[in-house]
Amino acid sequence: MAMKPATLLLLLAFSVTLLVQSSKASNSGNPAASATFSADDFDWRDMVPDLFAASAQPAEEGLKTMLENSKVLRAYVARQVRAECKPGNDRCDSSAEGFTVDGEVTKRIDGIVKESLVHQHKCAVLDYPFNRQSFPFTEISALRSENRQDAYIVLQFADRSYRAVDVQAKYGAPYDTNIFDRYSVFVYRLVSAHYISKAVFEVNPADGAVMKLAISLKAKKNH
């Protein structure tokens, strides 16, 4: 029996809707799998377990733990991988046996740590700039103390689109606030039996734009 045009159009529309929902579902849990990444996709609290693990590791290993698990860095490097790795590419062949985007991202982050890590003032330090445009951050920095169980991640924001109101909408009222000459800060913290972790958002008081986020973790001595 021939299908009526109206019925055919309805089925086509339903099929397209299912495909869109399926695509969203496949990417929703993994920002690095998506072509876009926004500042709001990042949640500083997700980094705390990795900072805690890093605080108990040797300095270089700790930095690698933080950066390999950073959603921001993984999303940025994944963009590079997708742009560069094509079937038949001698330098990065996406059709090679065993190739995965996540695997290539981890490999490149390990290379970043090896090439960019420096030792300063009894700390292992790494600064990595994001040179591509249309990314919500311009730089990620990591620091691991070599003689204390401290770990730090710092993110520089790329533009003025992420604001203090967005921070409070996501995390609620801050634990503390302060005002300095050129910026104000919103402080959040997580406390457990094993550590104290703080997130300090630096905000431009003139327009409320977030400029920097510093996440710190100090392991407690009785841990």
Which tens digit of pLDDT belongs to each residue from 93-121?
Answer: 999 999 999 999 999 999 999 999 999 88
Mean pLDDT of 35-54: 92
pLDDT band at 215 (very low <50, low <70, confident <90, very high): very high
DSSP β-ladder status, 184-191 and 137-145:
unpaired
In Å, how far from its chain's centre is CA 108? Answer: 15
- The pLDDT score that the predictor gives to residue 103 is 95
- The pLDDT score that the predictor gives to residue 223 is 54
Place of tokens 């094509």: 86
Indicate if the pLDDT at residue 11 is higher than 70: no
Indicate if the pLDDT at residue 14 is higher than 80: no
- The pLDDT score that the predictor gives to residue 202 is 97
Indicate if the pLDDT at residue 13 is higher than 60: no
CA distance 108 to 23: 26
- The pLDDT score that the predictor gives to residue 125 is 95
- The pLDDT score that the predictor gives to residue 160 is 82
Q: Pull the structure tokens for residue 121.
A: 């003032």
Mean pLDDT of 12-35: 38
pLDDT band at 167 (very low <50, low <70, confident <90, very high): very high
Q: Pull the structure tokens for residue 218.
A: 């100090």
- The pLDDT score that the predictor gives to residue 153 is 97
Q: What is the DSSP string of 173-184?
A: S-SEEEE-SS-E
Nearest-10 Cα torsion for 25, 53, 45, 145: -130
CA distance 105 to 126: 17
- The pLDDT score that the predictor gives to residue 69 is 96
Average per-residue pLDDT for the chain? 85
pTM of the full structure: 0.80
Indicate if the pLDDT at residue 128 is higher than 70: yes
- The pLDDT score that the predictor gives to residue 197 is 98
CA distance 48 to 54: 10
- The pLDDT score that the predictor gives to residue 62 is 94
pLDDT digits (tens, 9 = 90+) for 53-74: 999 999 899 999 999 999 999 9
Cβ-based neighbours of 167, under 8 Å, separated by 6 or more: 174, 186, 201, 203, 210
Mean pLDDT of 15-19: 34
Of the listed ranges 24-28, 114-118, 190-194, 216-220, the least confidently predicted one is 24-28
Q: Closest Cα partner for 67 from 142, 129, 137?
A: 142
pLDDT band at 157 (very low <50, low <70, confident <90, very high): very high
**Is residue 165 within 8 Å of residue 221, measured between CB atoms?**
no
Q: Closest Cα partner for 42 from 7, 89, 75, 11?
A: 75
CA distance 70 to 151: 13
